[in-house]
Chain A
């Protein structure tokens, strides 16, 4: 970053000059590239460079926020943010205590994916696309690859100065098969926070995905209703993110007395076997970091332990107001947005049941795998499976069209009656909240079994 010392001094001076309860600034520089295929052809390839920043100020409980693309007149930006905060603030500012932190966290630059020649990336994607196009009845495909290398500097009025670098890689592939009026698609999604190699060598998965899209053309749609459902680790990860993770975000809770009653610590949500964790301190995943966007050190937080609610995710403000410890979960998707409470790496801890045991006593049920997406309204959630199979008499049976599952979080977690021994983390997800999407997160789980899960169908 150019003139960083000059910029830092200017900001620190402005922090003292304009009287606010708290001021912070984020400066950001990033480089990214993307390659998109639609059908056989490469459709779009491009490079983006971004320079930007923001200033956020807190006065008497009210926030002001200013974002920009140039580093001129930073003093004026601090002044505007403080002025806005003053117009809002009517009560008192409350932020969890935090010692000033000065730290520099470099990324693993040897493996910066942005600097890998576009031709190398293109060659790998060409190989995948070839596999897709060697599948009969395949109508079209999409492949989207993206990478970024981002450097951020965080400064605040208590003297913190944190430089961090992050790498992010995503790859989404989808195959579309058609026959007559029927159209079916299957996709896979992957990501990594550190290694381009993690998206190499996917040839068998790509082949399986393409064949599955064709298979679905002749697969039946399930009849809507309640079923016993077994979820694979990928889909169970989406389930824990949607069905419980969002409800643990304290910005939904801290100012709402009714929500505080519902989410009172100690409340029983599931069986004694159920443990749910979120934490950016779990290393090497897409939701991992050392400090969040308020400069709070990352932690690993038990949300549910032995079926009971024991923790939740906080920003400095929600932690102070709820009298709990900050967890380092305040994140912003980029400099255009203030940090809000977000998940990082969210998962269900493994237990002992094997997959075979899990399905062995199901007469009629559904095995749902892989994800299309998920949404939550806190009480209700839905999520969709990319692949689904009937379970009949304890064995996997015919393939089904993709299914959408829905439920009520306050009953569904209680209906989990088996937790597998095979935890896997899925790195292909991106989480949306408010206007901020997609934020890199990961989620995971072992196989789980849920009784009485509602499934949409014909």
Chain B
């Protein structure tokens, strides 16, 4: 890497080399049985340069051909965006625990056993369900060095365990599922199976729902499938500087219900999205995005922050290309209402666990509209059964402006969201 940086320095004012090596071991179960074991190794190296004030970029997986990287970066710099930032000279970072040797050393046999045990537990409850499961461990090493003396390197372990069950009666299909991830191995999978069994219980009976406006409780999964994408888009510094975010000019103004608090956080120990620094070497932080319903910050990388006349929030993420503002992990603060209290409070309404295709519409404007893949009907304070053939539509700026209650218990949904239940007074429902 140093050699490549030296070569790049000869042709550019500033240069940065970013390298990631990873080894992932996914174990997959299909049709209730072990189906495959994989081993995926990969190494990629990315060169970013600032040449004559402009950004050039090239990346490769071919470590024997670094000269190519320098010439490709030079060619692209000719057309690149003018760089408004300087690469950081930071070389010490907060200590954030994200590596557990127990994950790296976990045996294939133990991983197989974990997958088999969750499938067995779910099938003991519902014998004719077909399950797919996935048990994966990964070790990822990241290193960044730049021509201003900045450097960072860290190692991360990630373990994930997930199950998806399909229950078919005639042409009626029910999909249930749950997954968890951590930097630690997840050796006690009960929380996963309990959640699946609860979904199966609640979905046992069928219920119908009228086409009208009704109160709705989003479970943490429901929050992720309906509300998360529009929020992430709205807080992205890039959307903000383009003037395309509905909240871009509302800093320090009340936009959402005062019960709503939202953070972006890459400092939580042993979470897969945590890290000492972002992909540009900016130290990780906990950024308040919504405080009591007020907009308090947006997400920035170096370039976007410079264009907005502010500082990077440590959100420079890479997904194959140049760094750009990317959420680390969104955390919504819990409040005091229990899920049962929410259900008891509703005379007629619904619970949304999974919306399919919710974010195919006008995400920028905050719209969501999707088919209720998994959801339940509430009547007179009781959950009476599963609803189907139903679409719900709304807009996050209306739905989250007046929230009836926020749940008292948070749950991780994937790696990106930690949220409680959110109870909203009304949402448009269309059904057959």
Contacts and interface: CB of A to CB of B under 8 A. Distances in A.
A183 B370 contact: no
A65 B39 contact: yes
A52 B61 contact: yes
Contacts of B35: 62-63, 88
A404 B370 contact: yes
A45 B76 contact: yes
Given A406-B357, A457-B393, A262 B31 contact: no
B42 A410 contact: no
B57 A382 contact: no
A408 B397 CA distance: 30
Contact of A375 (B360, B388, B389): B360
Given A44-B321, A119-B79, A38 B242 contact: yes
Interface stretch (B4-12, B170-178, B377-385, B413-421): B170-178
Given A62-B34, A88-B34, A456-B391, A377 B373 contact: yes
19 contacts: A43-B322, A63-B36, A66-B39, A69-B61, A85-B36, A122-B79, A178-B243, A181-B397, A183-B365, A225-B430, A336-B42, A372-B360, A380-B373, A404-B391, A404-B393, A452-B432, A456-B369, A456-B393, A456-B428
Contacts of A375: 356-357, 360
B277 to A, nearest CB: 21
Given A66-B39, A255-B31, A406-B391, A44 B362 contact: no
A458 B426 CA distance: 11
Contacts of B36: 62-65, 84-85, 88, 338
B320 to A, nearest CB: 8
A430 interface: no
Contacts of B191: none
B360 A256 contact: no
B373 A48 contact: no
Interface in B48-74: 57-65, 68, 72
Interface residues of B, number: 75
Interface residues of A, number: 79
Contact of B68 (A35, A43, A49): A49
Determine chain A's interface SS by DSSP, over half rule.
Answer: strand
B275 to A, nearest CB: 21
Nearest to B59: A48
B205 interface: no
A155 interface: no
B80 interface: yes
Contacts of B31: 255-256
Nearest to A55: B39
A181 B362 CA distance: 13
Contacts of A35: 79
Interface in A413-439: none
Nearest to B211: A225
Contacts of B76: 45-47, 118
Interface of B: 30-31, 33-44, 57-65, 68, 72, 75-76, 78-81, 108, 112, 128, 130, 166, 168-173, 175, 211, 238, 242-244, 246, 320-322, 324, 356-357, 360-362, 364-365, 369-371, 373, 388-389, 391-393, 397, 428-432
A384 B361 contact: yes
B82 to A, nearest CB: 9
A259 B432 CA distance: 24
A224 B429 CA distance: 8
Nearest to A69: B61
Given A69-B42, A401-B362, A373 B357 contact: yes
Nearest to B359: A373
A410 B175 CA distance: 17
A224 B169 CA distance: 29
A398 interface: no
A84 B246 contact: no
B373 A46 contact: no
Contact of A67 (B42, B320, B391, B430): B42
Interface in A24-48: 34-36, 38-39, 41-48
